[in-house]
């Protein structure tokens, strides 16, 4: 393993929702990813002290889409927790849950000032662990179909995406009150490796920044903003995959196979 702040412990080493929301297709950067590692492996890798029942019930999904539940690592006092939150941030002031459908990503350039994200950026930051993600390359002239690529770490370790989380309470469709914890993934400009297929990428945090990023008491947005930069090119490798990934109905491990 490379002796770099970007590389953490080996995977072999050391939530909360009260409402199900139906998945839907949303196109964005980052809009699809792989979540294939077992909860106990994720907990060990990110040094989580406790794992929620929702996280323990999380099933491997090689085509995770917005509005589904995703792993989240966050700090609760002195306890680092692994949980499963709704992907699509729902601000506390939202009138209903539908706003989360367009809040799956937050831009690094505006996350500290945009009303939808600034409170969470200052107080409720998290890590979204993923085993790789997909992005679509624009077709060459004369062709219509975009080519999907699977992007992952060369060493097979998981990515630690910088995220935010919120807790929302309000009426469900039937009028009953529900509580939903939700998350969003922060994106920044692409590094050279990623720019071959897209001009943006998720913010990937090295282990050396995890504790500061997760600490609720750290409210220095200037300091935190320095974390929101492209990852080194060496953390990115990619290959083309089947267009089967275009449909969220397909969730098997064949989706990451190179074509």
Ramachandran assignment for 196, one of left (phi > 0), alpha (psi -120 to 50 degrees), beta (any other): alpha
Return d(Cα 37, Cα 35) in angstroms, integer. Answer: 6
Per-residue pLDDT tens over the stretch 40-86: 999 999 999 999 999 999 999 999 999 999 999 999 999 999 999 99
Per-residue pLDDT tens over the stretch 118-162: 999 999 999 999 999 999 998 888 888 999 999 999 999 999 999
Pairing mode, strands 50-51 and 79-87: parallel
Q: What is the mean pLDDT of the chain?
A: 90
pLDDT-derived band at 172 (thresholds 50, 70, 90) equals confident
Indicate which residues carry an active-site annotation: 30, 135
Residue 54: half-sphere exposure toward Cβ, Cα within 13 Å: 20
**Alpha helix positions (H), the chain:** 39-45, 53-56, 118-123, 207-214, 221-225
**pLDDT higher than threshold 60 for residue 22:** no
Per-residue pLDDT tens over the stretch 195-232: 999 999 999 999 999 999 999 999 999 999 999 999 99
Segment 247-251 shows an average pLDDT of 96
Contacts of residues 171-177 at CB distance under 8 Å and 24 or more positions apart, as own/partner, are 171/96, 172/19
Alpha carbon dihedral 37, 42, 44, 45, in 10-degree steps, equals 100
**pLDDT higher than threshold 90 for residue 168:** yes
pLDDT-derived band at 10 (thresholds 50, 70, 90) equals very low
What is the number of residues in the chain?
259
Q: How many Cβ atoms from other residues are within 10 Å of residue 100's Cβ?
A: 24
pLDDT-derived band at 94 (thresholds 50, 70, 90) equals very high
pLDDT-derived band at 246 (thresholds 50, 70, 90) equals very high
3-state secondary structure 74-139: EEECCEEEEEEEEECCCCCCCCCHHHHHHCCEEECCCCCCCCCCHHHHHHCEEEEEECEEEEEECC
Residue predicted with more confidence, 174 or 213: 213
Return d(Cα 89, Cα 125) in angstroms, integer. Answer: 12
Host H or E run for residue 149: strand 147-152
Position 28 scores a pLDDT of 57
Q: Which two tokens stand for residue 11?
A: 């995977």
pTM score: 0.89
């Amino acid at each position: 393993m490379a002796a770099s702040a970007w590389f953490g412990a080996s995977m072999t080493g050391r939530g909360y929702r009260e409402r199900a929301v139906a998945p839907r297709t949303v196109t964005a950067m980052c809009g699809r990813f792989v979540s294939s590692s077992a909860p106990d492996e994720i907990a060990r890798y990110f040094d989580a002290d406790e794992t929620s029942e929702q996280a323990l019930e999380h099933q491997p999904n090689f085509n995770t889409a917005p509005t589904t539940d995703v792993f989240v690592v966050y700090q609760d006092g002195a306890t680092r927790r692994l949980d499963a939150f709704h992907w699509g941030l729902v601000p506390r002031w939202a009138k209903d849950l539908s706003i989360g459908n367009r809040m799956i990503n937050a831009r690094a350039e505006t996350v500290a000032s945009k009303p939808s994200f600034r409170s969470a950026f200052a107080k409720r930051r998290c890590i979204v662990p993923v085993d790789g993600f997909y992005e679509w390359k624009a077709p060459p002239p004369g062709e219509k179909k975009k080519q999907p690529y699977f992007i992952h770490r060369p060493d097979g370790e998981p990515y630690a995406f910088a995220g935010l989380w919120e807790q929302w309470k309000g009426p469900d469709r039937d009028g009953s009150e529900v509580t939903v914890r939700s998350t969003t993934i922060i994106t920044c400009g692409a590094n050279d490796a990623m720019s071959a297929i897209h001009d943006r990428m998720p913010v990937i945090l090295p282990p050396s920044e995890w504790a500061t990023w997760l600490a609720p008491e750290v409210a220095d947005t200037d300091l935190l903003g320095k974390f929101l930069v492209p990852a080194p090119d060496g953390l990115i490798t990619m290959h083309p995959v089947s267009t089967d990934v275009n449909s969220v109905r397909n969730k098997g491990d064949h989706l990451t196979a190179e074509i």
